[in-house]
Amino acid sequence: MDAARPTKAWKYALIPIVVMTILALYPQFTLWIGKDGWQGAYFVSNYDEVAYSAYVNSLIDGKPRRNDPFTGVDDAGQESLYSIQFIPAYAIALPARLLGVSASTAFILLIVPTAIFSALALFWLINAVTANPWLGASGTLVILCFGTAAAFQGELRFWVQGRVLVDFLPFLRRYQPGFAFPIFFLFCGLVWRGFSQTKLKRSLTYSVGAGILFVVLVFSYFYLWTAAAAWLGCLTLLNLVWNAENRPRITTGSILIAVFGAIALAPYFIMLANRAPLLDSVQLLTNSHMPEFASPSLLIGLIVAAVTGFFSYRNILSVRDPKVLLVISFALTPFILFNQQVITGRSLQPVHYEIFIANYLVLLAITLLTGMVVRSQTPRPTAFIYVAALAAIWGMIEVTGSTGRNAVFAGIRDQSIPAIQIVDQNKAPDKTPVVLATNFITSDFIPSVSSIRPLWNPHTSSAGGVSIVENKRLFYLYLYYSGFTGRDLDEALRKNVFEVIAAIFGSERALPALGQGNKITADEIKAEVNKYETFVSSFNADAAGNPILDYIIVPEKAEPNYGNLDRWYQRDAGKSAGLFKVYKLTPKI
């Protein structure tokens, strides 16, 4: 197929841009047109999005970088994963503060440029390598729409196993990895351009651009900058071995990018050294030298690399072709990401590589390999149109399936806002009220839409300011005031309620894919129930005073047993707010 002129090639990018924008906004559209009326919430498609929106909300409120939005501490004095990866948060919070919009509104708006720039970055990279805009358009849709399936998540896993770890389109998770995702592929494109130039000056210009983007990645998302470093190392090594005539230029470009990396990583590691001591355990950092070969993306990548090698062996492709080396580098990077611990001895929730970058890299490798294999056969545009349509259909299947599973939770968050606002609007100017919301969803959403502190929520310990022991104590308080009995806790544990298991046994036991958690036994459940019952039976004024509650938010049609709460607090008459009721509490102690 003849290459389209650059000025005309970009019109093909409109295809994936329009499709991905529609898919990205579909969940929000369903919330906007909900029967209960929209209260201002953004549609949450990934469990951890509310943690990131909570941090952005705190920055919009003017709190310092090292604040902990889950405990209400303005400056924790130490770094967290939020404060170290600060570029996306400030890039969202500062314009939001200037425009006077909420964190929730900012997250609604954010998903549109995330979809658009991700599609643009991939289209540009594919077209730059293959000079085939039809492949760029259809390949971009394949990569973005099939990324969830390539990680064996979303609808594919739900159909096979009846459960999912991640659904929707993972690259759209706000703001991690959504903000930096297109930057990663722009980085790849600039590196490719730099390695491909015949003139040293232009090569250095592209390398400088790539180095600047790497700096942005370092302070944006751990899993993307480490993936970028692994890919760059792989591509450089392959070219040094097989692309002898370009070794001086490639070596110079790689060193230049490495200089930028060193400049960024020096303060990065200083910040990391000042991280909260509890952060490693909270984030499930493990020590291991065991290799990993079970990753779907890793296996796909090895197959793509093997097929590329076979084509080279049969002289269909040449291993000395820089484009072939590019394909191999994308295909082999997952192997590096999932096995770096063999050398480093440290592993940090590698599943994040699986769902946020490795899956997209292997699909990119497949796309580029396809373009090189079929380039001499001049396929008709209709073939690409069919592929693009198939990808868009699968993308809609992923999006509608995810939206259906998350719709109830999204509705609860949205309908929680009026109740949360009652507390926020009546708080004393010099005090951060502590609020108990008796359902996990409302409690988790409080820091995203207000400046008040939840007694406990599923992300309380995520910033490293709360130890596992303290998080468990706060959870016990949460259960106690919510009227939970030992029997209720036993039932929740046996039903595998994620929030309960994570608070009691840790996230690695609730979701073994995050770490190396073992299956929870009946004896362990019994022991934990006994501990909670002991906590209830020995509850005293000292326990009730740390912390003092100011409000409680309950479902109006399913109010809890107030026996434990009323022992220590006087409730007022309460105010109704949609589906919820808010009581102001006065301590009796």
Residue ending a domain, choose from 351, 379, 407: 379
> Does residue 202 sit within a domain?
yes
pLDDT band at 518 (very low <50, low <70, confident <90, very high): low
The confidence score (pLDDT) of residue 3 equals 45
Residues 432, 372 share a domain: no
What pLDDT, in 10s, does the model give residues 548-579? 999 999 999 999 999 999 999 999 999 999 89
Report the range of poorest mean pLDDT among 177-181, 358-362, 464-468, 507-511.
507-511
Residues 355, 214 share a domain: yes
> Does residue 390 sit within a domain?
no
- Mean pLDDT along residues 364-377: 86
Residue 170 clears pLDDT 60, i.e. is over it:
yes
Residues 471, 375 share a domain: no
Residues 318, 196 share a domain: yes
What pLDDT, in 10s, does the model give residues 67-124? 999 988 888 889 998 999 999 999 999 999 999 999 999 999 999 999 999 999 999 9
The confidence score (pLDDT) of residue 516 equals 57
The confidence score (pLDDT) of residue 76 equals 84
Residue 2 clears pLDDT 50, i.e. is over it:
no
The confidence score (pLDDT) of residue 513 equals 61
> Does residue 528 sit within a domain?
yes
What pLDDT, in 10s, does the model give residues 135-164? 999 999 999 999 999 999 999 999 999 988
Q: How many Cα atoms within 13 Å fall on the side-chain side of residue 518? A: 3
The confidence score (pLDDT) of residue 310 equals 93
The confidence score (pLDDT) of residue 5 equals 54
What pLDDT, in 10s, does the model give residues 307-330? 999 999 998 998 989 999 999 999
Residues 108, 241 share a domain: yes
Residues 120, 267 share a domain: yes
**Which DSSP symbol is given to 286?**
E
- Mean pLDDT along residues 231-243: 94
- Mean pLDDT along residues 198-203: 86
> Does residue 458 sit within a domain?
yes
Residues 474, 349 share a domain: no
Residues 433, 375 share a domain: no
- Mean pLDDT along residues 378-385: 77
β-bridge mates for residue 285, sequence order: 348
Residues 437, 341 share a domain: no
- Mean pLDDT along residues 199-208: 91
Residues 359, 443 share a domain: no
> Does residue 309 sit within a domain?
yes
Count of H helices and E strands in the chain? 27, 8
> Does residue 41 sit within a domain?
no
Which spans in 131-221 are helix H? 133-150, 154-161, 181-196, 200-218
Residue ending a domain, choose from 322, 346, 379: 379
Residues 6 or more apart whose CB falls under 8 angstroms from that of 459 comprise 48, 50, 51, 54, 70, 444
Q: How many Cα atoms within 13 Å fall on the side-chain side of residue 165? A: 17
Residues 442, 360 share a domain: no
The confidence score (pLDDT) of residue 200 equals 84
Nearest in space to 229 (alpha carbons), one of 118, 352, 357? 357
Residues 475, 364 share a domain: no
Residue 270 clears pLDDT 60, i.e. is over it:
yes
Q: How many Cα atoms within 13 Å fall on the side-chain side of residue 572? A: 13
- What HEC string does 119-157 produce? HHHHHHHHHHHHCCHHHHHHHHHHHHHHHHHHCCCHHHH
Residue ending a domain, choose from 379, 408, 438: 379
What pLDDT, in 10s, does the model give residues 385-425? 999 999 999 999 999 999 999 999 999 999 999 999 999 99
Taking residue 150's Cβ as centre, other Cβ atoms within 10 Å add up to 24
- Mean pLDDT along residues 2-26: 83
The confidence score (pLDDT) of residue 282 equals 65
> Does residue 26 sit within a domain?
no
Domain that holds residue 155: 78-379
- Mean pLDDT along residues 29-39: 90
**Which DSSP symbol is given to 33?**
T
pLDDT band at 201 (very low <50, low <70, confident <90, very high): confident
Backbone torsions φ then ψ of 546, nearest 5 degrees: -135, 90
pLDDT band at 280 (very low <50, low <70, confident <90, very high): low
Residue 376 clears pLDDT 70, i.e. is over it:
no
pLDDT averaged over the chain? 91
Residue 7 clears pLDDT 70, i.e. is over it:
no
- Mean pLDDT along residues 434-452: 95
The confidence score (pLDDT) of residue 6 equals 53
> Does residue 389 sit within a domain?
no
Run of H or E including 504: helix 498-505
Residue with tokens 């942005």: 216
| Total domains in the fold of the chain | 2
